[in-house]
Amino acid sequence: MKPSRTLKLCVYFFTLLSLTSTVTAIETANDTPALHQCADVKLKWAMLLSVADVKFFSANCESYGLATQQSFKALEFKFNRAVSASYFKKAANKGFEVNLPSALKDRNETIDINHSFNDHYLAIAKGDVYLIKHMGQEGIVLYKNGRQVIQEKNAVFSHYYFNIWLGDQPAIPKLKGLLFKAFN
């Protein structure tokens, strides 16, 4: 019996392909480390439809561990097709919550901050670019098409936000795996 098309789509949902490594920088303030491009992956749906080009930047690209643990890092999503804001928000909220330690003192407050932050994601059209920067004490800054959308300086929130994509249970598991492979 052949697997159904729906099953195939579920199995291959958000497969990431085409891993490359280059060194490109993101502009930062004078008093912060430069962010260098550590990895570039293509986010595909059902292994056929290109959804987004995703780039990972860090102050240190020597190894995956060093790059992801930096308090200066960024993820850039350049979308190749429309994606609903509600889908992006739902995935980001779930990815944040499952990676937030259950014993964290300010867990509920931190989840509320995350929901408020993620409410600023807008509908995505083909060609839109979201850039998410973790800038140390300046916290997390979200840009859409080069314009700042929101900044959150809460230290606990900022510490855990990138776990949506890089945590133990990432929203897109293949993204974390392919980013890891970029360093090997």
Asked if 184 and 38 touch (Cβ cutoff 8 Å), the reply is: no
- pLDDT at residue number 33: 79
Q: What are phi and psi of 128, to 5 degrees?
A: -65, 145
Domains and CATH numbers, the chain: 5-181 (3.50.70.10)
Instruction: Output the CA–CA distances (angstroms, integers) from residue 142 to 4, 9, 28, 174, 181, in the order listed.
Output: 39, 30, 14, 23, 26
Report the alpha-carbon distance of residue 110 to residue 139 in Å, rounded: 13
What DSSP character marks residue 175? H
Instruction: Output the CA–CA distances (angstroms, integers) from residue 181 to 28, 39, 46, 76, in the order listed.
Output: 26, 9, 21, 18
Prediction pTM value: 0.81
- pLDDT by residue, tens only, the chain of 184 residues: 444 443 333 333 333 333 333 335 565 555 567 899 999 888 877 777 888 899 999 999 988 888 999 999 999 999 999 989 998 899 999 999 999 999 999 999 999 999 999 999 999 999 999 999 999 989 999 999 999 999 999 999 999 999 999 999 998 887 888 778 877 6
- pLDDT at residue number 128: 96
